Amino acid sequence: MNNLETLYRQVIMDHYKNPRNKGLVTNSLYKTIHIKNPSCGDDITIQTKVENGLIKDIRHDGTGCSICCSSASVMSETLKGKTITDAKKISSTYINMLTNQEYDTSVELEDAIVYQGVSKFPARIKCASIAWKAFEGTLEESE
């Protein structure tokens, strides 16, 4: 048994098998960002609805490995309902955690914390961050 286990804890599998907030909407209040990782075929679209500084809704769709797909679902659950400021902070903390950089451990990552194990598989960091990057893109579009 090798140390891949950490990567596939229950929560990842749960979100992979039963993704939350999946499926896109046709609604101009949502900002849409589509990101691909051509080297491995991951292909994710994220939609965000912002209202009064709050993340009202996040939708996602796409194809990819379990890390990629589950993290889109986890991201949507984690950030929905947060203020933009908090969402940004959580997102950047999450990316720092993945990329083995210093990160603020006082920020509550909720379920997203399980992706900590990805940092030991550098080749998979992209898979775990692509949905979050796309989310950050939607915020930039909102500004």
Binding site for another protein (CB under 8 A): 1-5, 7-8, 10, 13, 17, 36, 38-42, 63-68, 121-124, 127
The smaller minimum CB distance to another protein, of residues 2 and 85, is found at 2
The smaller minimum CB distance to another protein, of residues 15 and 59, is found at 15
- Residue 7: CB minimum distance to another protein, A: 7
Structure-derived torsion over alpha carbons of residues 18, 99, 41, 132, reported in degrees to the nearest 10: 50
Q: Supply 99's token pair.
A: 């990329």
- Residue 39: CB minimum distance to another protein, A: 5
SS3 106: coil
The smaller minimum CB distance to another protein, of residues 34 and 82, is found at 34
* Largest CA-CA distance found in the chain, in angstroms, rounded: 49
Q: For residue 31, what is the enclosing H or E element?
A: strand 30-37
- Residue 47: CB minimum distance to another protein, A: 22
Q: Yes or no: say if 119 and 15 are a contact pair by the CB < 8 Å rule.
A: no
